[in-house]
Amino acid sequence: MKIVKKLGQAVATATLGMTIATGALAGEVTIGFTGPLSGGAALYGENTLSGLRMAADEINAAGGFDLNGEKTTINVVALDDRYSPAQAATNAKRLKQENNAPVIFVPHSGGVFALQEFNVKDDFLVMAYTSVPTVTKKGNPLTVRIPPTFDSYMDPFTSYALEHEGKKLGMAGATHEYAKIWASMIKKEWLAKGGEVVSENPMDYNKSADFFTGVSRVLAEKPDVMFVGGASEPTGLVVQQARQMGFEGGFIIMDQAKIDEVSKVAGGLDMLNGAVGVVPLSAFQDEAAQSFIKRYQEKFDRTPGSEAAYNYLALNAIVTAMDETESTDPKTIRAALGDALKSMPAMKRPYDVTDVTEDGGFVSTPDMAVVEDGKIKMVPMQ
C-alpha cells in the first residue's frame, strides 16, 4: 500500500509539474485536436488536422499574433481517438488539464456529443467539424459547427435527380450512424416528392471487402438513381462497380464523399454523369480558394479537400477573434467569432463564410455540384 501511495504522490507531483510548466509558457496558445489518426479513418483525421497545422504554421511564420501586447504563437496539440467518443472525451480532458487548451477541434459527431457533456463546465470551446444538424440544435453555448448542416442538401439534391434521371431510387448508402440519418432524410424527401424507393441495401463502406454483391442487389430492381456515399474512396468503388454492371442512371452522393475524389477511384468523371453532390473545393474558382489550394499543395504535396479548407478557415477565425478581443477566454472568443469572420483577411477564407448563427453554425451559401458530360458544374441551391 505504501508503495502505491508513494507512486501516486510521485505521479501527482509530476503531472502538477507539467501543468505548471505548460501554464508558465508565455506567448503560446494551445489549440487542441482529437480525431482519428490511426485505423481506417486515419486519412480523414489527418486531412482535418492538416488544415489546422497549415493555419498555425502560417500564423507562427508571420511572428504570431498580438495578445495583450505580447507576440503569441499557436501550438496545435493533436491526440488520436480512433473515432471513439469515449476516447475523444478523455483526450479533451487531457488537452484542457495538461495543455490548458481554450479551443478543441473535433471532426466527428460522436466525439462532439461526448465533449458537449462537460465542455461548459470545463470551459473550452468545441469546434465541431460535422454537418449533423443536432450538434448546434442542442443549445450548447460553447459549440461552433464549421460546415453547413446536411438537411439543406435534401431538397435540391432530390429535386435535381427526380427531374433529370427518374422516379425510381435505389438506396446503397453506408451503415454508420451519420449515413443512416442521411439516408432516412433522403428517403423521406424522395417519397414526399412522389418518387419511389425500389430497393434499400445499406452496406458497411468501411468494413466491406467487396461491394459487388450489395450493388447487384440494388441494381436488380432497376433504379433510375442510386443513393451512395461514405468516405470518398469506397464510394468510388461502389460507383465503379455499379457502372461495370451496366447502371446508366444518376447518383445522389452523400456529403461525406467529394465528387473529385470519388471520380479518381471510379475511373474518371465520365463514370459520374448524372451525379449530384456537394461542390468539391477544387471546383471553386475564386482567388481565396485557388490560393489556398496552391499553398496547401506546396506544403503537403497533395490536393486539399474541404476538410482541410474548413478547418484552416476556422482556426484563422479563432485566432482573429483572440487577437481582436485580447483574450483566450472561450466565451469571449465565441462571442467575437462573427465579427472575426467578417474582418479576417480574405486570403484566409477559402470558403465564403462571413458570420456565425446564434446557435453556433457557420453561415455559408452552399452550392451543389452536378456532373454533366464528364464535367463538374456548380448549381446554386435555392
Does 322 participate in binding another protein (rule CB under 8 A)? no
Does 299 participate in binding another protein (rule CB under 8 A)? no
Smallest separation (angstroms) from another protein to the CB of 149? 26
Q: Which one-letter DSSP state was computed for residue 149?
A: P
Q: Which is nearer to another protein, 46 or 224 (CB)?
A: 46
Please give the size of the binding site for another protein, defined by CB under 8 A.
32
| H or E element, residue 105 | strand 103-106
Q: Which is nearer to another protein, 208 or 325 (CB)?
A: 208
Window contacting another protein (CB under 8 A); options: 8-16, 124-132, 206-214, 364-372: 206-214
Q: Which is nearer to another protein, 168 or 176 (CB)?
A: 176
Whether 308 and 296 have beta carbons less than 8 Å apart is answered as: yes
Q: Give the HSE-up count for residue 217: Cα atoms under 13 Å, Cβ half-sphere.
A: 13
Among 28, 155, 204, 372, binds another protein (CB under 8 A): 204
3-class secondary-structure state, position 99: helix
Does 380 participate in binding another protein (rule CB under 8 A)? no
Does 199 participate in binding another protein (rule CB under 8 A)? no
Does 118 participate in binding another protein (rule CB under 8 A)? no
Whether 109 and 128 have beta carbons less than 8 Å apart is answered as: yes
75, three cell numbers: 501550438
Alpha-carbon distance of 12 to 108, in angstroms, equals 32
Among 28, 43, 299, 325, binds another protein (CB under 8 A): 43
Does 177 participate in binding another protein (rule CB under 8 A)? no
264, three cell numbers: 479518381
Q: Is the dihedral of CA 228, 231, 237, 240 positive or negative?
A: positive
Window contacting another protein (CB under 8 A); options: 67-75, 87-95, 229-237, 270-278: 229-237
Window contacting another protein (CB under 8 A); options: 136-144, 158-166, 207-215, 280-288: 207-215
Among 147, 234, 338, 366, binds another protein (CB under 8 A): 234
Q: Which is nearer to another protein, 159 or 216 (CB)?
A: 216
Does 271 participate in binding another protein (rule CB under 8 A)? no
Contacts of 308 (CB under 8 A, 6+ apart): 47, 48, 50, 51, 54, 296
Does 220 participate in binding another protein (rule CB under 8 A)? yes
Does 233 participate in binding another protein (rule CB under 8 A)? yes
Smallest separation (angstroms) from another protein to the CB of 39? 5
Does 302 participate in binding another protein (rule CB under 8 A)? yes
Does 210 participate in binding another protein (rule CB under 8 A)? yes
| Phi-psi label, residue 139: left if phi above 0, alpha if psi -120 to 50, beta otherwise | left
Does 175 participate in binding another protein (rule CB under 8 A)? yes
Strand arrangement of the beta sheet that strand 196-200 belongs to: 196-200, 168-171, 225-228, 250-253, 275-278, 367-372, 375-380
Alpha-carbon distance of 44 to 307, in angstroms, equals 8
Helices 2-24 and 85-99 sit at what angle, rounded to 10 degrees? 70
Q: Is the dihedral of CA 82, 294, 363, 29 positive or negative?
A: positive
279, three cell numbers: 461542390
Does 39 participate in binding another protein (rule CB under 8 A)? yes
Q: For binding to another protein (CB under 8 A), which residues are involved?
A: 38-40, 42-43, 46, 175, 201-204, 207-210, 212-214, 216-217, 220, 231-234, 237, 244-246, 264-265, 302
